[in-house]
Structure 1
């Protein structure tokens, strides 16, 4: 009996091997249609995330857009087969291997399987890197060990040592709805404009996708995953992230829908915690969603989390009501206290200074609904000379808090098609700059005549400079 069972096992194994040894054709190829992300770069580590795809190109755009703002597709059938939806990128089974190459060493990973459980994504943290060193990235994929290999390449540079004096440029964006694209072939002009600046890294402060906007509405996990595949299928996004490390935050539309909290009602059958699962599949990071990174002597950045730990938006304000949560606040205080970086920049998914719209807004620190924590946070950041770059608002501005002097720089939406929510003529006392259009912010840190300097520059979607704030360091 034991011999018969072993014989069956051998036969089964042979049949599986024969199945994989069929001569390779196009059906055996895999693709990197969604590119890859280089995340969480430090002096000695990085997180690489990619996805194996079934087809070389996304499903072509079939529907026409409505007029801006929010150019949702006309006559879109939310019940159509997902595989036929505009921009769809199907995933596929297979194996992935990541190799990092510098002038001094080569780090080659193992071939690792991907599966439908995490939508065919693959994420790997790689340590043992050298500070301030350029690494070329080679990612290979294949269906099985007899199939042809497909590869994709990119590069990044690790961050310098804490007290190394080096110039740094980084960019930051927010709010990108797939259907608000402004280039029919590339997707978003902003990404191509940012690439020309050759930033050391990029901060995306949330609303990378919009589950609660048409084309489709994400009523389940399959439709939510479609949105990530579609947005990452735009060539401008894919090309940019192949050579620019990403620090990614999430906001309400990345989790579920507008102003989402952990207790918010589902969108169809898609829940807040489904959103968290899909987010983790697509975010190139591990560990806590709040974290801090050092880029030499003159720059440290903080990325905060605004969805997982928050109180209900419409509950009465009190000392206990929070967006950040007790653990994150303690972490923020401790890490700021321990920092000796010349300039400190906090990346926030939502505004802290504003001003924001009054009617119906209860979601952020600039709203009265979080008045107590908002006042404390503005005071804390102002006293520690921390500058804020924020997302969520679909217009660009520079605001200075009248009480604390805290400066906040809003990137605006990623495209003009997505810009709205404020009137250009509504200039408030807080505003040092106001522009109700899309674009991005670039932050430059450098030394001029040995004086540390930081610049916050607003650009439009095509890379034209529209405002610049220059701040020179004043020693205490």
Structure 2
């Protein structure tokens, strides 16, 4: 479910089996934990974690006291991988709605029932506390245990956040078990990930905003100019992503959560120049239309705190070998422009994904601060030397977990707290920052 102050979009998939296929393969005792002796050519229906879909009818009802909103019966079709999206408008701000989801095979069949809930965003003038969580980089085979999946999701659920942002690399098409070189294998990656109980339990009661990155579309460092991966193209990846995400409009969007917080979620794949193009004023990751939208909406916002969420780093530091983000030389001119511009917006911070380690960085030239959640599990942590602490680093940890962000008022003044947590939810670093008045 993706929410605003007056709407929700409910996404679901009709399944033809009650539980996913069991995890049968052992894993290597190394980073990413690739499966051992996995037959990449086995039928997808037999793969670990697989969940077959089924045609059927879906209806959703929302209730709050005497207020009820009910959709029509909507058909789930194989051409859409048996997924449906059900939008609701005209909801009340800061209101809890109970969700009832009914599914049935046909008009005459008995209906199955699932329950959930969500809370809409507060109105822009409401002074209310907010807590949200964010994470990145999750590979099915990097799970913590083979019943519930990832500890981080259960840890987030125990905190009862107002919403959750996943910053990309939700699935890894180009890692084995299987390597998703056709559409059927790519769809399996989503089915297996979404079937973990830890994810399902969080998502049924917490609104989720999903962003995408390279591994969710095609392969490492993918962009619109990328060559196909097996039988799949970059365009195929775009279509599959939109089938699996509760999103109605453009992939870049903003959410306002009361008086003290507004968030901008940036799209880093659809509009970018090729990574290997020469750097220059026209080379871009975000594209001119998105950048114009960002500047206009940032400058018109009166939120106390502003958070820009990017699937990839803007501050870094990153490895010299990488050519994929604003912290790299490959996009140096746009990166320098963004760090200069964003650092001039009062009370703005960057939250990013993509990197497989947790960090807080402060740009040495502009002072722009960036918070990276790190990967969802310890088995996915790699890519940086834990002893390589640079001058930019305020915090560095080569482990997995997630980031929680809390905004509340202390003595009537807004305050924001960024807390890095391990996979069990324990705080490992905290940055508490008071709002600064303009001028």
Which residue in the other structure is 2:328 paired with? Answer: 367
Say yes or no: does 1:277 pair with 2:263: no
Which residue in the other structure is 1:200 paired with? Answer: 162
Give the distance between the partners of 2:29 and 2:338, measured in 1 at CA: 39
Which residue in the other structure is 2:359 paired with? Answer: 397
Give the distance between the partners of 2:87 and 2:55, measured in 1 at CA: 21
Q: Shift of residue 463 of structure 1?
A: 0.6
* Residue in structure 1 matching 2:123, options 147, 161, 164: 161
Say yes or no: does 1:74 pair with 2:36: yes
Say yes or no: does 1:49 pair with 2:8: no
1:338-349 to structure 2, matched below 5 A, reads 338-349=300-311
Q: Shift of residue 51 of structure 1?
A: 0.3
1:55-454 to structure 2, matched below 5 A, reads 55-359=17-321, 361-385=322-346, 386-454=348-416
Contact preservation (8 Å) 1:68, 1:418: no
Q: Shift of residue 148 of structure 1?
A: 1.7
Q: Shift of residue 68 of structure 1?
A: 2.5
Give the distance between the partners of 2:286 and 2:47, measured in 1 at CA: 37
Contact preservation (8 Å) 1:209, 1:231: yes
Which residue in the other structure is 2:425 paired with? Answer: 463
Describe the superposition over 1:222-268 as per-residue Cα deviations: whole angstroms up to 9, x where unpaired.
Answer: 00000000000100000010011011100000011100000101110
Q: Shift of residue 104 of structure 1?
A: 3.9
SS in 1 for 2:173: coil
Give the distance between the partners of 1:67 and 1:258, measured in 2 at CA: 23
Q: Shift of residue 334 of structure 1?
A: 0.2
Which residue in the other structure is 1:6 paired with? Answer: none
Describe the superposition over 1:439-475 as per-residue Cα deviations: whole angstroms up to 9, x where unpaired.
Answer: 0000000001111100000000011100000000121
Give the distance between the partners of 1:250 and 1:154, measured in 2 at CA: 25
SS in 2 for 1:232: helix
Give the distance between the partners of 1:368 and 1:107, measured in 2 at CA: 51
Give the distance between the partners of 1:354 and 1:215, measured in 2 at CA: 31
Q: Which runs of 5+ in 1 are unaligned?
A: 1-37
Which residue in the other structure is 1:21 paired with? Answer: none
Contact preservation (8 Å) 2:140, 2:193: yes
Q: Shift of residue 315 of structure 1?
A: 1.0
Q: Which runs of 5+ in 2 are unaligned?
A: none
Give the distance between the partners of 1:137 and 1:382, measured in 2 at CA: 41
Contact preservation (8 Å) 1:342, 1:473: yes
SS in 1 for 2:240: helix
Give the distance between the partners of 1:137 and 1:66, measured in 2 at CA: 41
Contact preservation (8 Å) 2:71, 2:86: no
Give the distance between the partners of 2:66 and 2:389, measured in 1 at CA: 54
Q: Shift of residue 84 of structure 1?
A: 0.3
Which residue in the other structure is 1:27 paired with? Answer: none
SS in 1 for 2:61: strand
Give the distance between the partners of 2:343 and 2:31, measured in 1 at CA: 34
SS in 1 for 2:269: coil
- Give the TM-score taking structure 2 as reference length: 0.99
Describe the superposition over 1:75-96 as per-residue Cα deviations: whole angstroms up to 9, x where unpaired.
Answer: 1111101100000000001000
Deviating above 4 A after TM superposition, structure 1's stretches of 4 or more consecutive aligned residues are none
Q: How many residues align?
A: 437
Tell me which structure has the larger Cα radius of gyration.
1
Alignment root-mean-square deviation, CA = 0.7
